[in-house]
A and B are shown apart, each in its own frame.
Chain A
Amino acid sequence: MVGLLYMARLLFIISIVFCVCVSCNDENDETKQAWDPSRTFMVSHISNCHGVMFGQEFVAGIDVELSYESGRVKVLLTERILDDAKDDLLEVLGFEETSRTMTRQEYLMFLNNFHAYLTVTPLVRKKG
């Protein structure tokens, strides 16, 4: 039992050290990159689970084009998603036109809203 206790403590300490190392790794990295709006947690979920493609420059197959400058994110909903989504997409998301510039916090909230919209309105791809 004593051996098991030690093993448990050791494993627990190792996992805590591992977590700390993972979280500190970026801080020491000289090539640390700036925050990227296309690499957030919700973007990866929306891309993987709902099939909506995000990108920083316009290429074919991108649904949401993102650009990040001086602390503000510009979100552009491309023709591709406007064709495939329901007509009320812009209205429900609170967009007056296809692009909107927002703060980082507003952008993260937009992703939550977009995700909720996609949960109740699955995207049907018209072209493959």
Chain B
Amino acid sequence: MELLTVFIYSIKHIFMPGEATPILVALGFVGADRRVLLRLATGLALSNGGIMVAALLIGLFAYQRSSHLILSVTPYLRFMIVAVFFFMALYFLLRGLSIGNQSAGTISGNKLDIITARPFITGLLIGFIPSTSDIGFIPIAPMLLLNRGINGLWITIITVWVGVIVSFTGVSCIISLLPIAYLKKRINRLENILYIVSSIIMLLLAAWLGYYIWLDYYS
């Protein structure tokens, strides 16, 4: 029963601000196909689990030596996802503006297609940005291990990881059901508009998240 609750919590957490889920949703919204979304989701899920395990291992073997460093770099680690959202906003804007110009040969769409061309690698890289709970695992790892035992700890972590994999792939499957490709054929300039709207949403998300992180650490 406890593991089921842990599993449900891990699903809820991918919708937490600061997780990479908006990127997945935005790419689906602009019409990336299911294979691209699933590759991105797999990359995200794998590296999310990897960073969680890495956090536990750092906590177990190197926390005493790195505690001051972790304390001081935490705000910067949290700003990394803001930077990714900002970069995505620019990417969507450039894509939105370039699509109509491709025939005129001004900007090649493929040259800008750095995310959908390598979705798995993109997912892996973004997923390696530690979330607040990953950072939080580092100091508590030794006492968790002592109290729960190695088996108890790994079973819980694997449950969280499975929850993350299920939710990222689930989100990509649901998003890919949107009839974006059909609507693009029916509505002129829809693709440009979707990219620009996604760009603005990503920018607002980056600003909102960055503002709250700034309030926490520097206000």
Contacts and interface: CB of A to CB of B under 8 A. Distances in A.
Nearest to A119: B133
A123 to B, nearest CB: 9
Given A7-B196, A45-B17, A88-B148, 7 more contacts: A12-B93, A15-B203, A26-B219, A41-B212, A114-B136, A116-B132, A120-B144
B136 A122 contact: no
A4 B192 contact: yes
Interface of A: 1, 4-5, 7-8, 11-12, 15-16, 18-19, 22-23, 26, 35, 40-42, 45, 49-50, 88, 91-94, 105-106, 108-109, 111-120, 122
A7 B74 CA distance: 38
Interface in B1-48: 2, 5-6, 9-10, 12-13, 16-17
Interface residues of B, number: 51
Contacts of A50: 9
Contacts of B2: 122
Contacts of A119: 6, 9-10, 13, 133, 160
B166 interface: no
B122 to A, nearest CB: 23
Contacts of A11: 196, 200
Interface in B98-151: 100-101, 132-137, 139-140, 143-144, 147-148
Given A112-B135, A116-B133, A119-B160, A41 B216 contact: yes
B133 A40 contact: no
Q: Is the interface of A mostly helix, strand, loop or mixed?
A: helix
B181 interface: no
B71 A8 contact: no
A93 B140 contact: yes
Contacts, number: 121
A113 B136 contact: yes
Contact of B132 (A1, A8, A19, A112): A112
A113 B213 contact: no
A88 B207 contact: no
A92 B144 contact: yes
Contacts of A117: 136, 140, 144
A25 B4 CA distance: 43
Contacts of B139: 94, 109, 113
Contacts of A8: 93, 96-97, 192, 196
B178 interface: no
